[in-house]
């Protein structure tokens, strides 16, 4: 078996008395879309923040492609191929759509201690940034200010910015939340196309999207992973049905 792209062992995070991450073990295999589902407040976002190094776990280890990253800063982890999108979108509001992607390309290309040339007239940089906008179908909105984007467009831009860092593993925190039906379908299409290039950990409440995309699913409840398995296994797991999917409620 090939080394997993992400390997989490015994991860624990406490907020005072609250156990937000409770001895989580999790792997994402190369080329896989691994969905992470769970009720509100289960600790999904907290888990992603720890993977990125934005939050420090109390216990446990995180390996990226076989290499421990526990002591590395967020910036270092990103350079090793980790990227995330934010559930509550986090973009540069005074910049245009294209600027937001271009700055991610710029940072990936190396240090930014360049004090003279105009970053906005670097044709190669702008061109490359457009490529990622094209991937998410936003190239026609390139010159729009982020502050003027709709919620759905912001979600798409989040994805384009994450892709611009050229990740090996993409951590998606509820990319469909707040999207209309058509927008969700479009996002599912985009993610399906991306599957060839990048592995994903997909946090999502939209079960249609999860069942459409995921190779494996893990279920997180009160910080603990109560089940991991294929779509069918999770769908039929009685514990999952009571704890999360809700008894009696028809799934899909």
Partner 1 sequence: MEKSLKRPALLAALLIALIALPTVADAAGFAALTSLATRVLIYGIAAASLNFVLGYGGMVSFGHAAFFGIGGYTVGILYQHYSLGEPLFGFIPGTNQMLITLPVAVVLSGIMAAIIGALSLRTGGVQFIMITLAFAQMLFFLFVSLKTYGGDDGLIIRRANELPWLNMRDKHTVYYVCLAIAVLFFAVLWRLVNSRFGNVIVGLRQSEKRMAAIGLPAYRYKLVAFIISGMGCGLAGALMANFLRFASPDMMHWTKSGELMIMVILGGVGTLFGPLIGAAVFIVLESVLASWTENWQLGLGLILLFVVLYTQGGVQALGARLVGRSA
Ligand X SMILES: Nc1ncnc2c1ncn2[C@@H]1O[C@H](COP(=O)(O)OP(=O)(O)OP(=O)(O)O)[C@@H](O)[C@H]1O
Interface with Mg ion by CB under 5 A: which residues?
A: 44-45, 87
User: Does residue 46 touch partner 1 according to CB under 8 A?
Assistant: no
User: Does residue 85 touch ligand X according to CB under 6 A?
Assistant: no
Sheet with 6-15: list strands edge to edge.
18-28, 6-15, 59-64, 67-68
20 binds, among Mg ion, partner 1, ligand X, none (CB under 5 to 8 A by kind): ligand X
Closest distance to Mg ion from the beta carbon of 243 (Å): 18
CA atoms within 13 A on the CB side of 195: 16
171: nearest Cα among 28, 39, 42, 63: 28
**Residue of the chain from 112, 148, 193, 242 that contacts partner 1 (CB under 8 A):** 112
**Residue of the chain from 117, 123, 143, 248 that contacts partner 1 (CB under 8 A):** 117
Closest distance to ligand X from the beta carbon of 100 (Å): 23
**Residue of the chain from 1, 113, 123, 196 that contacts partner 1 (CB under 8 A):** 113
38 binds, among Mg ion, partner 1, ligand X, none (CB under 5 to 8 A by kind): ligand X
User: Does residue 55 touch partner 1 according to CB under 8 A?
Assistant: no
Query: How many residues touch ligand X (CB under 6 A)?
Result: 12
């Amino acid at each position: 078996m090939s080394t997993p792209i992400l390997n989490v062992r015994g991860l624990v995070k406490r907020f005072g008395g609250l156990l937000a991450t409770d001895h989580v073990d999790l792997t994402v295999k190369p080329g896989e879309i691994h969905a992470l589902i769970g009720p509100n407040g289960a600790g999904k976002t907290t888990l992603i923040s720890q993977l990125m190094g934005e939050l420090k776990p109390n216990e446990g280890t995180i390996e990226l492609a076989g290499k421990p990253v526990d002591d590395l800063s967020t910036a270092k982890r990103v350079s090793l191929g980790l990227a995330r999108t934010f559930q509550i979108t986090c973009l540069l509001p005074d910049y245009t759509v294209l600027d937001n992607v271009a700055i991610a390309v710029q940072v990936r290309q190396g240090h930014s201690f360049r004090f003279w040339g105009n970053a906005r007239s670097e044709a190669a940089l702008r061109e490359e940034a457009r490529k990622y906008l094209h991937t998410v179908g936003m190239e026609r909105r390139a010159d729009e200010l982020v502050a003027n984007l709709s919620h759905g467009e912001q979600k798409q831009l989040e994805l384009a910015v994450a892709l611009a860092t050229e990740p090996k593993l993409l951590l998606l925190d509820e990319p469909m939340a707040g999207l209309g039906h058509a927008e969700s379908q479009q996002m599912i299409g985009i993610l399906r196309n991306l599957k060839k290039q990048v592995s994903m950990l997909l946090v999502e409440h939209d079960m249609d999207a999860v069942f459409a995309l995921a190779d494996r699913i893990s279920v997180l409840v009160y910080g603990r992973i109560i089940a991991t398995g294929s779509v069918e296994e999770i769908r039929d797991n009685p514990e999952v049905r009571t704890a999360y999917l809700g008894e009696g409620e028809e799934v899909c």
